[in-house]
A and B are shown apart, each in its own frame.
Chain A
């Protein structure tokens, strides 16, 4: 029972990370109309930027700010490339954007594995993770870290803010209009590229916050982490139903809990293989995703 509770909390925390990443991925898919496979890779890159700044300045706040700025910048700087394709979407397939994004991801991963810290995994100092202060709550086998609580709390706050923005604001309304039908949105006067650019900025911010949370929660990062997360986020989004934000919330949390339970009860090193096996079975049973597709490709 103790293991169950402990792993449940572990799972919720890591699940929150999946939720944030899947939400960013889905927003880019719905509003910017791109398949940004490398979105999580850019987030891991921002973790590295955070780490460098903390190492250089010794200032945790500088690292946090740097990580967030980095994620927003990567999104905004690569946006013109994707928007070029979006602009030609009547003659170009959306998968083109995935190839572009994968290329971008490989370049970033290679940069991480060759330059920063000579390619070795990086470790964040206790001043950021708070691990030196020990667990926040500790009872028997159960111990809940500051990072876990922080991740869960910030995750919940951000998802709530995001949904408020989507459903209660002018820009959110424009986002949803493009998500439903970009051509109709254009006809009622929504500027597709300009509104799309706002979604790059928003998801960049989301990615930056996720980078900081991951630094605190995991305490370390390696060059391969981005690709691993990329696969998981793509899997979560497809299993939930591409473009289905609420579905992404649920499946992201479930994946986190599933992984944590596998780690708690079986061999931890098998958690990727087992959770992907489970996801394979789910997608075979529900090819359109558990909660249904929200994006029809012929309308992109």
Chain B
């Protein structure tokens, strides 16, 4: 896998909600085929960064490039069409709609080969195949997270932004989710992952960035970050 082609370039990006600065001069790179992990406490700006990359917030200044094209200020739906997809934190799925409807929503813009994509998704997540007609709101937390990931695949993305996938899930389910993320990455998807479960995330990631109150305070290879005394103390509780 070629891993020097830049997929996402974030340069000096700042975002404010009213008077509150959410992101302060963020610089970040994701190369093709990489898993990059964003480390940070609640409110550090992980979700803001992901939503800004997707186009949900317009940065005050700075530049975002995706696949070589400038994308800041471009609407979310256009970015989705270009191959970016966010797996949001929390509920993440439309709970009044069926599993199949949720999946098809992922393919809203990219309808080609929908049956093939469904087959692919059901290969990753066999449980969803059995539950196609079930209402998403009746799925377990882990199943919903799987559905949100599966919905991302339906859009045929080049890069998936995954926001806190392990939040509130049982350890066994978390293991499954991380296995799937690793498999997705091996098959060529670039992944930007935000996680509080840092140990597990750094184990599967290539590199990572540490966010604190909207700034990047540290970055490096996953191995270096895992062995960094400050990271260990602040985020691993060692």
Contact = CB atoms under 8 A, between A and B. Distances in A.
Are chains A and B native binding partners rather than an unrelated pairing? yes
Interface residues of B, number: 27
Interface string B139-164: 00000000000010001000000000
A173 B105 contact: yes
A170 B108 contact: yes
Interface stretch (A51-59, A115-123, A175-183, A266-274): A175-183
A189 interface: yes
Contact of A189 (B94, B96, B108): B108
Nearest to A191: B77
Interface string B100-119: 01001110110100000000
A173 B76 contact: no
Contact of A187 (B81, B86, B96, B108): B86
Nearest to B155: A189
Contacts of A189: 76-77, 79-81, 85, 108-109, 155
Contacts of B184: none
A85 interface: no
Contact of B95 (A170, A180, A186): A180
Given A170-B108, A170-B111, A174-B105, A187 B94 contact: no
A106 B222 CA distance: 65
Contact of B88 (A170, A173, A177, A187): A187
B97 interface: yes
Contact of A173 (B77, B91, B108, B109): B108
B49 to A, nearest CB: 14
Interface in A158-193: 170, 173-174, 176-177, 180-181, 184-191
Contacts of A190: 77, 105, 108
Interface residues of A, number: 16
Interface in B176-193: none
B94 A191 contact: no
Contacts of A191: 75-77
B60 interface: no
B105 A177 contact: yes
- Which interface residue of A187, A190, A191 has the most chain B CB atoms within 10 A? A187
Contacts of A174: 105, 108
Interface in A26-78: none
B54 interface: yes
B80 A177 contact: no
B108 A176 contact: no
Contacts of A194: 77
B51 interface: yes
B56 interface: yes
Contact of A176 (B76, B97, B111, B155): B97
A185 B75 CA distance: 13
Interface string A210-244: 00000000000000000000000000000000000
9 contacts: A170-B111, A173-B104, A174-B105, A176-B101, A184-B88, A187-B51, A187-B88, A189-B85, A191-B75
Given A173-B104, A189-B77, A191-B75, 19 more contacts: A170-B111, A173-B97, A173-B101, A173-B105, A173-B108, A176-B94, A180-B94, A180-B95, A186-B77, A187-B51, A187-B88, A188-B86, A188-B105, A188-B106, A188-B108, A189-B79, A189-B80, A189-B109, A191-B76
Interface of A: 170, 173-174, 176-177, 180-181, 184-191, 194
